[in-house]
Every structure is written in C-alpha cells, then in structure tokens.
C-alpha cells in the first residue's frame, strides 16, 4: 500500500494563528482537512471522498468562523449544532473534528474499524450530533433539535447539511412543509448542490429543476452562493442573521471532488465516460498518491506565499487490513466502491442476480427493472444499458419505487425492485404491505443484506429485513448461497413463484464459492446438505455465514464432532416432509443467521418444528469494522461458532 501521511493537529493550529488573510487561512485549512480525509479513507479501504470534498469548505467555514461549538465546548447545551443528513460525507467532518482535537489521531486512523470511527455518522463518536447515512431524515431531526432549543431556552442554532440528490427522498418535503408552518429562526439547512449523486448527474437521475424556486415556494428563506467561496458564505450567514424568525436554507453550489483536479466534476464525469468514479471507495495507490501530492503541494505553495514555512506531515503506519481480503468487498456507492478482487473467490452473487435478470428478460417481456439510484451496486446497470425501455429510475425514493412497482403489477407487468435491504425493507415497508395486499407479484432485490461489509455502519447493514417482511402472508424471503443458487432463485421468482419474492443478496465477493452437490436443484422450502454429520446440524444461508458455518464444521471435525451443514435459503417457507426427514432427526439444531436472531430463520424454524433451536445471529447493534472484526465481535466467525456449538453439545 502507498505510504500514508497525515497533517498533524499542530499544523492546523499554526495556520489558524498565522498572520495571513482570513480566507487564505480557511482555504488552507480546507485542503489540509481534505488531505487527512483522503488518508483516512485510503487507510480504511473505503469511504466517500467526492462528497466530503464538495462539502469541505462549508464545514470548515462553519466550524472556523460561524458556529460557536468550538468556543463554548462540544458538549455545551448552548452550542451550535451541526450535522450532515447525507452522512456519507463524514470522513471530511472527521478530519475537521480531528483538526480541533475532538477526535484523536489514533481514532481518525481507525475509520471504519472496530472501536474506531463509523463509516456513517454515529453519536457514539465525539462531535457527531446525529446518526445519519440513511437519507432524508436530517431536516426533520434538525427541526426537532431547533424546537427543543427554543423550548428549553437554549442558545445556539442548528445547521443541517443535506445532499442535493438526497432531496429526492420525500421526507425532506414533509419537513420543509412543516418547517415553514412552524417557523424556527434557529434552523439553517445547507444544500450541498454538487449536482452529482452516486455516479450520475442529479438532473439526469431525477431532476430537482429550479430548486431555489421550489424551496422558496415551500416558504423558506432561500439564499444561494458558491459553496467554495468563504466570502460568499460569510455574506449568506450575515444575511441569515437578518432573518431571525424564519427557517433558512442555503443552496451552496459546489464541485464534487473539489480540491483534487482529477476528482472534480465535471472533469471526472467526462473522464469516467459519464460515470463519476469518486463518490465512494478508496482510491488505488496511484490515485491516492497523485491526490495527496496535489493537495500537499498546494498547501505548501500557499504556506510559502504567506511565509508560513513548510508543511509538516506525520507518518502513518499503513496497517494491513486484519481480515481476509476475500471479505473486503464494498458496495460501489452509498457505502464504498468495489475494491480490486485480489484473492477473493471471484464470485459476486449480485452479479449472478444481474446476469439472471438479463437472461430472463428475453423470455419475459413483462419483466421491468426499477432502481433507486443504486444501479451499479445492485448490478442492474447491464440491464439498464441493454433494456433502457424496461428500466425505471426513480431516484433516491424507495417508497415511490415500490408504489410505482405496484402500479406496474396492477397492469400485469412483473416489476423487479432494487435497493439496499436496509432501506428497501424499512423505508418502503408500508408500500410493500400495500402492494402485497393487492396480490401484486413483485421481485424485491434486497442488496447488501446482512452484516458484511461492516465498514459503512448500522445505517447500511441490514439485520432486520427478514423480520420486516415476515408477517406478510405472501412474500417469500430467500437468501441464496452462491451464484448458481442465486440464478435458480431469480428464475424461480420470475417463472414459478405465485407470490412476491424478496431476494437477500450479499454485496461483496463471496469469501468462498459455496459448493452445491451435483444435481443440485432449487426446491421451494427445502435446503441442501453441504456437509453430512451425525452429531448436530447447523442451518445457515448466504455465502458469508455459510462460509463461517463450514469453517466451524471443519474445526469441529478435528475435535471429533461431526456437524452437518445445511444451506437453507428459505427463511420463511418450509417443506414439511424435508424438515421431518432432514432436520427433525437431529437432537441439536443450530441456526447461524446473517440477521438479528429475532424474526428470521431461527424463529421461523421454531415455529415450524415446535422444538428448541439454538440461534446465533447478530445480537444488538451490528458492529462497524472489517469483516473479521465484525464477525468476531458477534462471535459469528467459524472459530467462535465452533466453540459455542461445543459448549452446547457438552
């Protein structure tokens, strides 16, 4: 890995105190924080630079000049509160908090690691005022904070950053309507109008149109400016002070990737052939080095121009990831770009999903694919390119997507809906219920299901989705083990199923290719014995947890215990005869879940078998960290599972 360096906190202090024009200092501080965000993301192996950089000058401006937070104290009740609703720009915020000493250096270097800094904001981290990362909640939450401050007679304002793509989420407009109705003068919203969402132009995905006019019509006091000009920002906040009674919104026109020439929009979009590559994911060594050099050179030049000496950098140990690289896959947007596959199994079940849809499209002209701005991650970009007339992009609006799908289904089409499971099953839950109530047949592609990758944190990890769909009478929840089974499940969902089917899919590369026996065929409600064993049986699903279950079985074999391992992709459908024949004979039945132990396979199996089942799932909040860290933390890695099973059997 490239050699990593950090701008130490002392350098920020030096610049703050320097005898140089104010805006030059602010610009310097912005670039220094950019350099540190870059290093932190590079070291983490994932994170969102494009949006961290577009928002950076605003964040620096706020904390250096506008907000009282640093002066009155980060826990003071009268402090100004700042948080970002989009949340994925948090590496930039971490770098700024580090520059104030709120986050220590060792923690900045543990971005997306256990006991480090969550991949999306979490109030467990100093200086973080709100959990976010799931889009659209920030203006509402900011209203609550601002209301409370007024009610409690507390000083300080609340400043909420939102993304422009994020404004596709309907909750924003609920909040904007209510915000104008119950005006709070201590609330300020800043739109980071960088004009790009995950990898395309906002105006291409779902246009915001005349945004300032819209916001004005919604009754807010609206200003706009260049979000990289401290002078203009200063003027806007001055202007806002003259409007003490109304909620205020600033549309800050910014440049995604600002500060690193080859990451900047529109250059980067053009270079990427219409796809912006720097939304998420760590740059490779070469790109990192070029970016870091560009930033530090500009910093040095500016320091020199003001006779401020040379830039001191501190070395950073380029810690190798603790976990097997095969598990390090990260989603391309919303969570982190796919990393080079390295030693991975080369199998991505989501690819098999996308390929299967493409293959089925020819025979099933009624098949239509829907996307909520995660087409690359959900592996449906191929479908979009091949069948543009059968691809519907709704933007970041999961509720709209599901109800659109319900409308398509009412006209006899077969919609295939895609998003991350964490968003789809919860944000659009009532819409899924409504569609199911119409008897709609919809395929739900629930991507990024389960614990891994664990770097993005709890806003993105999906450990509740099966429970959220479990009480629907006509939605089968299925989680395939490998590419072959994924294809079989998609075919079953499209060709056979009489009900809706929610397909849980791992988003990263499979830690190993789960081998299915010769002559494997998918059969509704039946699992597949992967390893025979007489002492006990473990049922699991998906490539991540089956890998750990198989590892546990291997370990147990050396300890003289023969653990049968069953791939059970059906989380809420059971073939009674198969259960009776294959599972019932075992005295000990274990389930290893890529889900909370509540509401998934374990519960369903107990309901079906009316017998004790020992369930190992993700207890409590999912850990943020590398896959190995997260699995170990939850005692779901093979070795821990073996120990836990032994403890039960003895």
**Cβ atoms of 589 and 537 closer than 8 Å:** yes
Q: 530 has which bridge partners?
A: none
**Cβ atoms of 424 and 398 closer than 8 Å:** yes
Residue 510 is a binding residue for a second copy (CB under 8 A): no
Residue 266 is a binding residue for a second copy (CB under 8 A): no
Residue list 588-607, contact with a second copy (CB under 8 A): 595-599, 602-604, 606-607
Return the structure tokens found at 229. Answer: 């000009």
Residue of 142, 247, 329, 508 interacting with a second copy (CB under 8 A): 142
* Nearest 10 degrees: Cα torsion 105, 108, 110, 113: 150
Residue range at the interface with a second copy (CB under 8 A); choices 41-49, 309-317, 434-442, 641-649: 434-442
Residue of 36, 54, 168, 326 interacting with a second copy (CB under 8 A): 168
Residue range at the interface with a second copy (CB under 8 A); choices 88-96, 351-359, 388-396, 532-540: 388-396
Return the structure tokens found at 567. Answer: 């791939």
Residue 418 is a binding residue for a second copy (CB under 8 A): no
Gap between the Cα atoms of 141 and 205, Å rounded: 26
Under rule CB under 8 A, how many of the chain's residues touch a second copy? 111
Toward a second copy, which CB reaches closer, 559 or 611? Answer: 611
Residue 172 is a binding residue for a second copy (CB under 8 A): yes
Residue 576 is a binding residue for a second copy (CB under 8 A): no
Residue 68 is a binding residue for a second copy (CB under 8 A): no
Half-sphere exposure of 514 (CA within 13 A, CB side): 34
Residue 635 is a binding residue for a second copy (CB under 8 A): no
At closest approach, how far in Å is the CB of 517 from a second copy? 31
At closest approach, how far in Å is the CB of 605 from a second copy? 10
Reduce the DSSP state of residue 477 to 3 states and report it: strand
**Cβ atoms of 283 and 291 closer than 8 Å:** yes
At closest approach, how far in Å is the CB of 558 from a second copy? 29
Residue 620 is a binding residue for a second copy (CB under 8 A): yes
Residue of 30, 127, 163, 415 interacting with a second copy (CB under 8 A): 415
Residue 173 is a binding residue for a second copy (CB under 8 A): yes
Nearest to 395 by CA among 119, 118, 172: 172
- The residue count of the chain comes to 650
Toward a second copy, which CB reaches closer, 15 or 175? Answer: 175
Question: Token pair 């609006």 is at which residue?
Answer: 397
Residue 126 is a binding residue for a second copy (CB under 8 A): no
Residue range at the interface with a second copy (CB under 8 A); choices 109-117, 169-177, 447-455, 527-535: 169-177
Residue 322 is a binding residue for a second copy (CB under 8 A): no
Residue 580 is a binding residue for a second copy (CB under 8 A): no
Toward a second copy, which CB reaches closer, 288 or 590? Answer: 590
Residue 230 is a binding residue for a second copy (CB under 8 A): no
| Burial class of residue 10 in the structure, from the number of CB atoms within 10 Å of its CB (0-12 exposed, 13-18 middle, 19+ buried) | exposed
**Cβ atoms of 133 and 120 closer than 8 Å:** yes
Residue 164 is a binding residue for a second copy (CB under 8 A): no
**Cβ atoms of 119 and 111 closer than 8 Å:** yes
Residue range at the interface with a second copy (CB under 8 A); choices 36-44, 287-295, 310-318, 433-441: 433-441
**Cβ atoms of 423 and 465 closer than 8 Å:** no
Toward a second copy, which CB reaches closer, 160 or 344? Answer: 160
**Cβ atoms of 645 and 538 closer than 8 Å:** yes
Residue 648 is a binding residue for a second copy (CB under 8 A): no
Q: Encode burial over 480-512: b for 16+ CB neighbours within 10 A, e otherwise.
A: bbbbbbbbbbbebbbeebebbbbbbbbbbbbbb
Alpha-carbon Rg for the chain in angstroms:
25
Residue 545 is a binding residue for a second copy (CB under 8 A): no
Gap between the Cα atoms of 281 and 497, Å rounded: 37
Crossing angle of helices 22-44/230-241, nearest 10°? 110
Residue 145 is a binding residue for a second copy (CB under 8 A): yes
- What are the two backbone dihedrals, phi and then psi, of residue 445, each rounded to the nearest 5 degrees? -85, 105
3-state helix, strand, coil in the chain (%, to 5): 40, 15, 45
Residue 399 is a binding residue for a second copy (CB under 8 A): yes
Toward a second copy, which CB reaches closer, 224 or 313? Answer: 224
Residue of 22, 241, 410, 635 interacting with a second copy (CB under 8 A): 410
Gap between the Cα atoms of 562 and 575, Å rounded: 25
Binding mask 189-208 for a second copy (x = CB under 8 A): -----------------xxx
Residue list 452-471, contact with a second copy (CB under 8 A): 458-459, 463-464, 467-468, 470-471
Residue of 419, 431, 540, 640 interacting with a second copy (CB under 8 A): 431
Residue of 229, 318, 429, 524 interacting with a second copy (CB under 8 A): 429
Gap between the Cα atoms of 142 and 160, Å rounded: 6
Toward a second copy, which CB reaches closer, 382 or 407? Answer: 407
Residue 364 is a binding residue for a second copy (CB under 8 A): no
């Amino acid at each position: 890995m490239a050699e990593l360096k950090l701008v130490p906190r002392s350098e920020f202090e030096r610049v703050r105190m320097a005898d140089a024009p104010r805006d030059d200092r602010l610009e310097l501080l912005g670039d220094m924080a950019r350099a540190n965000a870059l290093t932190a993301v590079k070291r983490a192996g994932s994170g969102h630079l494009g949006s961290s950089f577009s928002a950076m000058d605003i964040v620096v401006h706020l904390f250096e000049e506008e907000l009282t937070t640093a002066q009155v104290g980060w826990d003071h009740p009268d402090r100004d509160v700042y948080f970002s609703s989009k949340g994925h720009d948090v590496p930039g915020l971490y770098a700024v908090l580090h520059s104030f000493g709120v986050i220590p250096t060792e923690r900045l270097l543990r971005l997306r690691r256990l006991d480090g800094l969550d991949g999306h904001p979490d109030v467990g981290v100093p200086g973080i005022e709100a959990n976010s990362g799931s889009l659209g909640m920030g203006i509402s939450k900011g209203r609550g904070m601002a209301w409370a401050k007024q009610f409690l007679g507390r000083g300080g304002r609340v400043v909420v950053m939102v993304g422009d793509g994020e404004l596709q989420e309907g909750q924003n407009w609920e909040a904007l309507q209510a915000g104008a109705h119950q005006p709070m003068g201590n609330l300020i919203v800043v739109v980071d109008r960088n004009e790009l969402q995950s990898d395309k132009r906002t105006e291409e995905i779902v246009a915001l149109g005349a945004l300032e006019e819209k916001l004005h019509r919604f009754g807010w006091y609206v200003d706009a400016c260049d979000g990289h000009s401290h002078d203009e920002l200063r003027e806007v906040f001055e202007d806002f002070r003259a409007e003490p009674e109304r909620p205020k919104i600033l549309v800050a026109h910014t440049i995604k990737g600002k500060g690193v020439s080859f990451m900047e929009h529109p250059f980067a979009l053009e270079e990427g052939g219409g796809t912006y590559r720097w939304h998420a994911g760590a740059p490779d060594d070469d790109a990192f080095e070029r970016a870091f050099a560009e930033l530090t050179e500009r910093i040095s030049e500016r320091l020199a121009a003001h006779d401020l000496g040379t830039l001191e950098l501190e070395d950073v140990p380029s810690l190798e990831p603790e976990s097997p690289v095969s598990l390090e896959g990260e989603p391309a947007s919303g969570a982190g770009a796919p990393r080079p596959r390295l030693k991975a199994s080369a199998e991505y079940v989501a690819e098999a999903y996308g390929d299967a849809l493409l293959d089925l499209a020819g025979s099933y002209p009624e098949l239509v694919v829907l996307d909520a701005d995660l087409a690359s991650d959900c592996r449906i970009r191929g479908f979009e390119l091949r069948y543009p007339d059968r691809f519907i992009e709704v933007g970041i609006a999961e509720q709209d997507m599901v109800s659109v799908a319900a409308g398509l289904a009412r006209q006899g089409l077969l919609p295939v809906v895609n998003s991350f499971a964490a968003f789809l099953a919860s944000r659009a839950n009532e819409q899924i219920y409504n569609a199911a109530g119409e008897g709609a047949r919809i395929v739900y592609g629930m991507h990024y299901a389960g614990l891994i990758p664990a770097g993005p944190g709890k806003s993105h990890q999906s450990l509740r989705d099966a429970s959220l769909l479990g009480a629907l009478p006509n939605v089968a929840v299925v989680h395939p083990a490998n590419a072959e089974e994924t294809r079989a499940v998609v075919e079953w969902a499209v060709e056979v199923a009489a009900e809706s089917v929610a397909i849980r899919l791992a988003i990263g590369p499979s830690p190993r290719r789960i081998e299915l026996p010769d002559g494997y065929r998918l059969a509704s409600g039946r699992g597949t014995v992967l390893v025979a064993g007489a002492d006990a049986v473990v049922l699991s699903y998906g490539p991540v947890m089956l890998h750990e279950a198989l590892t546990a079985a291997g370990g147990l074999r050396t300890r003289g215990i023969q653990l049968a391992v069953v791939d059970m992709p059906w989380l809420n459908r059971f073939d009674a005869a198969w259960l009776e024949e294959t599972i019932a004979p075992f005295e000990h039945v274990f389930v290893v879940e890529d889900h909370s132990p509540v509401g998934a396979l374990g519960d369903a199996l107990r309901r079906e078998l009316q017998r004790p089942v020992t369930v190992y799932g993700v207890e409590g909040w999912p850990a943020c960290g590398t896959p190995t860290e997260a699995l170990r933390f939850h005692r779901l890695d093979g070795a821990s599972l073996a120990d836990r099973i032994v403890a039960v059997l003895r």
